Amino acid sequence: MNIAALVSGGVDSSVVVPLLKEQGYDPHIFYIKIGMEGKEELSSCPSEEDIEITTYIAKKYGCKFDIVDLQHEYILSICSTSISRPSGNTRWRWCARASRPTPM
């Protein structure tokens, strides 16, 4: 049976692939790329190593593997989203450099 598996390259999501194979599933592995590639000053977590690990897992278990690049969409919808502070009129935005909300 076909099934999708979102794998980050971390231990938890990587373990799911052999478990799915043991249960008779044929996982199609997807890596969702949302990092800030090309903006090293904003990110200390480049995706190359995660993609390398995920590629290895896909090959080892004979799974289809695709990278879905959502960097642009992620930055637009998550990192640039402004939210209103419920207790007042101060507007906040997510500051990727500080990894926390900052006043606008």
Tens-digit pLDDT profile for residues 10-24 = 888 889 999 999 999
Q: Is residue 47 classed exposed, middle or buried when 0-12, 13-18 and 19+ CB atoms within 10 A define those classes?
A: buried
Domains and CATH numbers, the chain: 2-103 (3.40.50.620)
Per-residue DSSP letter, 35: S
Instruction: Tell me the DSSP string of 15-34.
Output: HHHHHHHHTT-EEEEEEEE-
Tens-digit pLDDT profile for residues 51-92 = 999 999 999 999 999 999 887 777 667 655 544 445 555 555
Q: Can you tell me which residue has the tokens 């598996």?
A: 5
**Are the C-beta atoms of residues 8 and 31 closer than 8 Å to each other?**
yes
Q: Does the pLDDT value for residue 102 go beyond 70?
A: no
- What integer pLDDT is reported at residue 79 of this predicted model? 58
